[in-house]
Amino acid sequence: MEKNYDIAIIGGGPGGYVAAIRAAQLGFRVCLIEKQYLGGVCLNVGCIPTKALLTSTDALDIINKASSFAIKVDNVSFNLSDMIERKDKIIEDLREGLKGLITANKIDVIKGKGKLLSKDSIEITGQTNATISAKNIVIATGSYPCEIPNIKVDHKKIYNSNSLLCLKKLPKSMLIIGGGYIGCEFASFYVRLGVKVTIVEALPSILYSHGKDLSDLLTKSFKDEGIEIKTNSKVIKCEETQTGVELHLDTNEVIESEIALVATGRKPLTQNLNLENLGMKLGKHKEIIVDEKMRTSIPNIFAVGDVIGQWMLAHTASHEGLVAIDTIANIENNMEFRAVPAII
C-alpha cells in the first residue's frame, strides 16, 4: 500500500467508487477507503435489496391473480427466508462485479474507517491501521437511518430499514413509522405476503413531499390492498410487550403489533470524521456544505452523495463524484440539481 496519493476517497458507495474510477482513468494515483462493503447504501441496504424483494412479491402477486388471465395455478407457496437468501445472492454478485471494476482500474482499496487529521492526511483504523497523505480528498461516507427520541431500535422487535432487510421470520403484523418512500416500499412488500400493515405518518399524507397526485394515488392503492394509514399522527413512544410492540400516538391512540419499523429517513454520516476541528462548514443536520463543483469550505476537500444532504439518490451521487474529479483535473463541470430524475 502506498502512503501518498493524488486523491483519497473515503466511502465506497456510488459517489465514491465512481469518483475513484474516473480519477484512475484520468491518470491519478487514487485510493478508496471503505470500512465494510463496496457499493454503499444503494447496493447493500437500499435500492438494490428492496427492489430484489419487491420483484419476488411482484411475481407472487401475478401468480395469485393468474385466474384473471384464465390460468389455473394450485398450491402456491413462498418462503421469506428463501426470498432473503435470493436478495443476498444478488447483492453478492453485484459486489463481485464492482470489485472487478475497481481491480481493472488499478485502484487501491483500503479496508478501514477514515478520519481526517488535516486537510491532506487521513488516519485509517480497523482492518487497516495506517496514515496516508493525499493532495485532494473526496468524502463520500453516505448516510444512516434516522432515529426517533424515546424509541430504541433493538433489531429484534423494533427495526430500522437496514436490519429489516435481514428478517427471515414473517411477522403477523407490522407498524411502519414514516410514510416516505422507504416505509412505503416495505409496506408494499409485506402486505403482499399477508402481513397486517399499518403506516403512521406525522404529515398530512404519505409521500407528502412528492406531491398530492402521487400521494393520493398510492393512498388509494394501499387501502385497496388492506394497508391502514394514519396521518397527522406523531409517535410519542414505542414500548415492547410480551407479544410485540405498543405504539402510543399524540392522538391518544395506542396500536399493537408484532414488530415495528422506524422509517423516518436518513441522515448524512459525518460523525467521527473530525470535520469540525478542521473548520469545515456544516449545515444544521451536520451535512457538508459544498458548491456547484462539490468543493467544501476547504479547497482541496470535496464531498459527494448522501453526506451533503441534498438528493439522496445513487445516480446523483455518481454524477457528483464525476464533477468532483473533473474539478480536480481542471475539467470544466458543474453540478446541476434542477432536473434530477427520481422514481418510487
Which of 210, 233, 264 lies at the terminal end of a domain, its last residue?
264
Measured distance CA(171)–CA(213) in Å, rounded: 32
Query: 190 with 95, same domain?
Result: no
Instruction: Please state the length of the chain.
Output: 344
Write down the pLDDT at residue 343.
81
Q: Are 238 and 249 in contact (CB under 8 A)?
A: no
Query: 16 with 140, same domain?
Result: yes
| Residue 2 pLDDT greater than 80, yes or no | no
Write down the pLDDT at residue 341.
87
Give tens-digit pLDDT for 256-286.
Answer: 999 999 999 999 999 999 999 999 999 999 9
Give the Cβ contact number of residue 133 at 10 Å.
Answer: 15
| Residue 86 pLDDT greater than 70, yes or no | yes
Residue 75 lies in a domain: no
| Residue 193 pLDDT greater than 80, yes or no | yes
Read off the pLDDT band of 225 (50, 70, 90).
very high
Nearest to 197 by CA among 225, 167, 233, 227: 227
Query: 89 with 124, same domain?
Result: yes
Query: 99 with 13, same domain?
Result: yes
Look up residue 151 and give its amino acid.
Answer: I
> How many separate domains does the chain show?
2
Would you state the cell numbers that stand for residue 270, as one nine-digit string? 459525518
Give tens-digit pLDDT for 131-169.
Answer: 999 999 999 999 999 999 889 999 999 999 999 999 999
Nearest to 6 by CA among 33, 34, 28: 28
CATH for 134: 3.50.50.60
Measured distance CA(277)–CA(118) in Å, rounded: 9
Measured distance CA(242)–CA(263) in Å, rounded: 23
Contacts of 285 (CB under 8 A, 6+ apart): 267, 268, 309
Query: 179 with 282, same domain?
Result: no
Q: Which neighbouring-strand residues pair with 39?
A: none
Mean pLDDT to the nearest integer, 51-55: 97
Read off the pLDDT band of 1 (50, 70, 90).
low
Give tens-digit pLDDT for 3-50.
Answer: 899 999 999 999 999 999 999 999 999 999 999 999 999 999 999 999
Query: 118 with 258, same domain?
Result: no
Mean pLDDT to the nearest integer, 214-241: 95
Contacts of 134 (CB under 8 A, 6+ apart): 4, 5, 6, 7, 8, 31, 120, 121, 122
Give tens-digit pLDDT for 281-326.
Answer: 999 999 999 999 999 999 999 999 999 999 999 999 999 999 999 9
Measured distance CA(9)–CA(301) in Å, rounded: 10
| Residue 191 pLDDT greater than 80, yes or no | yes
The percentage of the chain sitting over the pLDDT mark of 90, rounded to a whole number, equals 94
Phi, psi of 164 (to 5 degrees): -65, -25
Write down the pLDDT at residue 344.
78
| Residue 229 pLDDT greater than 90, yes or no | yes
Would you state the cell numbers that stand for residue 269, as one nine-digit string? 454520516
Query: 227 with 184, same domain?
Result: yes
Between the CA of residue 95 and those of 23, 110, 230, what are the distances in Å?
20, 16, 38
What average pLDDT does the structure give for the chain? Answer: 96
Q: Which residue has the cell 424483494?
A: 53
Residue 73 lies in a domain: no
In which domain, by residue range, is 244 found? 158-264
Measured distance CA(182)–CA(334) in Å, rounded: 30
Residue 52 lies in a domain: no
Q: Which helix (H) or strand (E) holds 16?
A: helix 14-25
